[in-house]
C-alpha cells in the first residue's frame, strides 16, 4: 500500500486550511518581511503524566468502568456519539464527573457558546481540585481567547500549552509570511480524557457548528466515547504530545492576564446561560447523557479489540520517521482490503498516489465507495478543486463517488435520525472508514495530503463487524437519499444523480452551484497546491 495522501474564490475558509491559504498568499506576496519574529528560548516545563491504573480505579468513574469491564477485561467499550447535542452534553458530563484529572487536546476551540461553556466547566473542575491539562493547536484558537487562556493557566490546578505557537498574536497570519515551513504543520488531534479511564475522540472540534448550537452550518460528525484499553492508550498518547518539543507553556507565549480575567469568563458563561436565544440549547443539556448511563451501569457498549493510531508529534517538526506516521500504522493494522472499502471524509484529495491506489483496488474487484462533500456543502472551495481534478480517473476505474447534499432547514435544536457518520447536517465533517465490513476507523484523519504529510492525527481502529456494517449499510440505504451520486457519461463528462424516494433528478453541472464558484474550482484544480490541501 503506497503512502496515501488520503487526503469554495473561498466563501468560508475553514481554520484547518488557514495555513494552506495563508501560505499560498505568502508565496504570491510581493512584500518582504525583513524581521522574522522567533520563538523564545524554551524555559523549564513542569512534568506530569496520566494516572496509574490503581489511581484511576479509585475514582467513581474508574469504579463504574471497572464494573462495566468485568465481563470484557481485554476489550474496549465503544459508544458512538453521532448526534451533535449528545456529543457536547457528554463532554460536559465527562468534565463534571472527573475527580482527579482532565486531559484535553483540540485543534479548534471557538470563543462562542459551546467554547465558553466548556472552558467554564474546566475551570469549575479545577476549582474542586481536578488537575486540568489543556493542549490547543495555536492555529485553531482566536486571539480573543489569549487573555482567558493566560488566566486559566494562572489557576493552580490548570496548565495550558499551545502547540506550534505563533509569536505574533494579532493578526496571526503574519506568522505564515515569516515562518511558513513551521507554522504550516498543525496538531489536528481531538480528545478529552477524564481520570485516565474514559475518553471522547473523533472528528469534532469545540465550536457551535460542531454541536448544533448555530443557525448556520451544522456539521455531520462522529465521535466515540471509549473506555478500557482505548482510553488508556489515548491518555498515554496525550502525555507524549504534552511533553513534545512543539507544546509550549502558554506563559512563555502570552503576557500575563489581567487580574480579573477569570471573572470575565464567569460573566461570559452567565451571559450565555441567560441568553434567551441559547436557553433551549442549554436546557437540553440536562437530558440524561451516555456518561450518566455509564455511571449508573445502563450504557450498552460495543465491546471490541481496538488499536490507537497516532502520529509521532515530531511530525510537526518534519522529523518523524515514516514508520511512526498514521498512514504507515494503518497499513500495518488494516492490511489490504479484500472485498470492500467504504470511506467517509469531508476533505477528500487523493492526489496521484491515492487515486492510483483506489483504482487498483477497484480493478481487483474490491468495492470502493467514497462519501465526501458536494460543492454546495463544502466549506473550502480549494479543497474541492483538489478533489475535482481526480474524479474522472476514479470513476473510470470503478470507484463509486457520493457527494453529500447541503441539507436545507436543519434545526440545530432537534436531534436528527442517528447514523454511523452522524446527523443529516448541512456539511459533512465525519472522518471514518470501514474495511471488509469487519474493521472501522474513527478519528481526526482526512484523506488528503495535509493529514498524510503535514498535520498530526489521532484515531481508533475498532475490530467490530457491527460498527463496520453500519457504514456498509449506510451506503445502501441513507447515503443514496442524502447525497448526489457522481456518474461518468459515455462522452467522458460528469453528471450527478439526486434521488428522492423512487424518483431521480439529473444535473449536468455541479448541483446548486454558480458558474463563478465552478470557475474557482477549476482554477484551484490546476494550481500546483495539492500538497497544501
Active-site residues, by number, are 188, 190, 195, 429, 431, 436
Contacting residues for 420 by C-beta, under 8 A, at least 6 apart: 80, 82, 222, 432, 467, 470, 471, 474
Residue-wise burial string across 207-231, b where 16 or more C-beta atoms lie within 10 A, e elsewhere: bbbbbbbbeebbbbbbbbbbbbbbb
Pick from 112, 454, 491: which is nearest to 272 by CA?
Answer: 112
Cα separation, 273 vs 82, in Å, equals: 25
Cα dist from 432 to 63, 148, 221, 439, 487, whole Å: 31, 34, 10, 11, 23
| CA 336 to each of CA 1, 310, 331, 366: distance values in angstroms, whole numbers, following the listed order | 7, 20, 8, 10
What CA–CA distance (Å, rounded) separates 384 from 387? Answer: 5
Q: In whole angstroms, what is the distance from residue 109 CA to residue 140 CA?
A: 6
As given in the structure block, the three cell numbers for residue 428 are: 459533512
Q: State the Cα–Cα distance between residues 33 and 70, nearest whole angstrom.
A: 61
Among candidates 189, 144, 89, 229, which has minimal Cα distance to 446? 189
**The dihedral formed by the CA atoms of 144, 148, 149 and 155, expressed in degrees to the nearest 10:** 170
Identify whether the C-beta of residue 316 lies closer than 8 Å to the C-beta of residue 187: yes
The rounded distance, in Å, linking the Cα atoms of 213 and 488 is 39
Can you tell me the distance from the alpha carbon of 360 to that of 442, in angstroms, rounded to the nearest whole number?
24
Pairing of strands 76-81, 101-106: unpaired
Pairing state between β 483-488 and 494-500? antiparallel
Phi, psi for residue 114 in degrees, rounded to 5: -70, -35
Please state, in angstroms and rounded to a whole number, the distance separating the CA atoms of residues 33 and 386.
30
Amino acid at each position: 500500500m503506497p503512502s496515501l495522501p488520503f487526503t469554495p474564490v473561498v466563501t468560508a475558509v475553514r481554520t484547518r486550511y488557514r495555513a494552506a491559504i495563508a501560505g499560498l498568499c505568502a508565496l504570491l506576496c510581493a512584500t518582504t518581511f525583513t524581521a522574522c519574529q522567533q520563538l523564545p528560548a524554551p524555559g523549564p516545563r513542569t512534568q506530569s503524566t496520566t494516572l496509574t491504573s490503581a489511581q484511576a480505579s479509585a475514582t467513581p468513574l474508574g469504579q463504574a468502568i471497572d464494573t462495566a469491564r468485568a465481563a470484557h477485561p481485554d476489550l474496549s467499550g465503544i459508544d458512538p456519539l453521532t448526534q451533535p447535542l449528545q456529543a457536547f452534553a457528554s463532554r460536559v458530563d465527562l468534565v463534571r464527573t472527573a475527580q482527579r484529572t482532565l486531559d484535553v487536546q483540540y485543534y479548534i476551540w471557538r470563543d462562542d457558546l459551546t467554547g465558553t461553556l466548556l472552558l467554564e466547566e474546566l475551570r469549575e473542575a479545577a476549582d474542586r481540585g481536578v488537575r486540568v491539562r489543556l493542549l490547543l493547536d495555536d492555529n485553531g484558537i482566536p486571539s480573543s481567547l489569549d487573555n482567558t487562556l493566560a488566566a486559566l493557566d494562572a489557576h493552580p490546578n490548570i496548565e495550558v500549552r499551545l502547540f506550534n505557537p505563533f509569536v505574533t498574536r494579532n493578526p496571526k497570519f503574519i506568522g505564515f509570511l515569516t515562518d511558513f515551513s513551521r507554522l504550516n504543520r498543525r496538531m489536528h488531534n481531538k480528545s478529552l480524557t477524564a481520570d485516565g479511564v474514559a475518553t471522547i475522540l473523533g472528528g469534532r472540534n469545540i465550536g457551535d457548528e460542531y454541536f448544533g448550537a448555530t443557525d448556520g452550518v451544522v456539521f455531520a460528525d462522529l465521535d466515540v466515547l471509549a473506555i478500557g484499553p482505548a482510553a488508556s492508550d489515548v491518555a498515554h498518547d496525550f502525555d507524549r504530545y504534552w511533553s513534545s518539543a512543539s507544546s509550549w507553556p502558554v506563559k512563555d507565549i502570552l503576557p500575563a492576564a489581567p487580574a480579573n480575567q477569570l471573572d470575565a469568563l464567569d460573566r461570559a458563561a452567565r451571559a450565555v446561560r441567560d441568553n434567551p436565544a441559547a436557553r433551549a440549547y442549554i436546557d437540553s443539556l440536562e437530558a440524561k447523557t451516555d456518561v450518566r448511563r455509564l455511571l449508573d451501569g445502563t450504557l450498552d457498549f460495543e465491546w471490541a479489540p481496538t488499536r490507537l493510531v497516532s502520529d509521532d508529534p515530531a511530525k510537526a517538526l518534519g522529523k518523524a520517521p515514516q514508520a511512526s506516521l498514521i498512514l504507515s500504522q494503518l497499513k500495518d493494522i488494516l492490511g489490504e482490503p479484500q472485498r470492500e472499502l467504504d470511506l467517509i471524509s469531508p476533505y477528500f484529495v487523493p492526489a496521484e498516489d491515492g487515486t492510483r491506489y483506489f483504482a487498483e483496488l477497484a480493478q481487483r474487484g474490491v468495492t470502493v465507495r467514497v462519501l465526501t462533500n458536494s460543492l454546495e456543502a463544502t466549506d473550502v472551495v480549494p479543497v474541492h478543486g483538489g478533489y475535482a481534478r481526480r474524479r474522472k480517473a476514479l470513476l473510470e476505474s470503478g470507484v463509486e463517488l457520493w457527494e453529500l447534499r447541503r441539507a436545507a432547514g436543519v434545526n440545530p435544536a432537534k436531534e436528527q435520525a442517528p447514523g454511523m457518520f452522524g446527523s443529516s447536517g448541512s456539511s459533512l465533517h465525519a472522518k471514518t472508514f470501514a474495511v471488509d465490513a469487519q474493521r472501522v476507523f474513527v478519528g481526526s484523519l482526512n484523506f488528503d495530503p495535509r493529514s498524510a504529510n503535514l498535520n498530526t492525527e489521532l484515531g481508533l481502529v475498532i475490530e467490530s463487524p457491527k460498527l463496520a456494517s453500519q457504514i456498509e449499510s449506510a451506503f445502501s440505504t441513507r447515503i443514496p437519499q442524502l447525497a448526489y451520486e457522481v456518474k461518468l457519461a459515455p462522452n467522458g463528462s460528469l453528471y450527478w444523480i439526486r434521488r428522492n424516494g423512487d424518483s431521480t433528478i439529473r444535473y449536468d453541472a455541479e448541483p446548486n452551484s454558480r458558474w463563478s464558484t465552478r470557475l474557482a474550482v477549476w482554477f484551484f484544480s490546476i494550481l500546483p497546491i495539492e500538497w497544501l490541501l
